[in-house]
């Protein structure tokens, strides 16, 4: 169970700045993938159209969709902070999640140590259930 602790205003401001930068970067990446996807979309009216020609556009549109999911999570984290709710503490141990981890995964709810434990436990459950995943970790 997480231990509640006071999170400093400086920490909250720092997290807000990180999330705003990440949001800006993700938005730029999404726009770039959408533009590239549109540019790579083949003209189906041309003679010799091959459905496999759309692989490039499919890739970029898929990447834009994936990045949009991350953007939504970052926006949720920002909204959480704007409402004055503490953010950036591990939901398991209550310790501060490192700035490095939050830059990589802005919507992280666990510190690296607790996330490793959770992933190991989940991996064990998959093995126990007879499910195997390639590169699960």
Q: What is the pLDDT of residue 20?
A: 93
The tens-digit pLDDT sequence of the chain (137 residues) is 444 445 578 888 888 898 899 999 999 999 999 999 888 876 666 655 566 666 778 899 999 999 999 899 889 888 888 887 777 888 899 898 998 998 888 888 899 999 999 998 887 665 555 544 444 44
Q: What are the extents of the domains in the chain? A: 9-43+54-128
CB-based burial label for 12 (10 Å; 0-12, 13-18, 19+): middle
Q: What's the CATH number for 9-43+54-128?
A: 1.20.120.910
pTM given for the model: 0.63
């Amino acid at each position: 169970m997480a231990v509640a602790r006071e999170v400093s205003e400086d920490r909250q401001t720092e997290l807000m700045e990180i999330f705003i930068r990440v949001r800006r970067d993700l938005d730029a990446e999404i726009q770039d993938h959408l533009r590239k996807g549109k540019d790579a979309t083949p003209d189906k009216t041309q003679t010799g159209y091959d459905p496999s020609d759309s692989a490039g556009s499919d890739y970029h549109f898929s990447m834009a969709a994936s990045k949009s999911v991350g953007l939504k999570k970052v926006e949720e984290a920002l909204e959480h902070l704007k409402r004055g709710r503490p953010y950036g503490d591990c939901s398991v141990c209550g310790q501060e999640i490192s700035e490095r981890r939050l830059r990589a995964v802005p919507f992280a709810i666990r510190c690296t140590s607790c996330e490793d434990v959770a992933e190991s436990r989940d991996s064990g459950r998959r093995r126990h259930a007879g499910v195997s995943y390639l590169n699960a970790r």
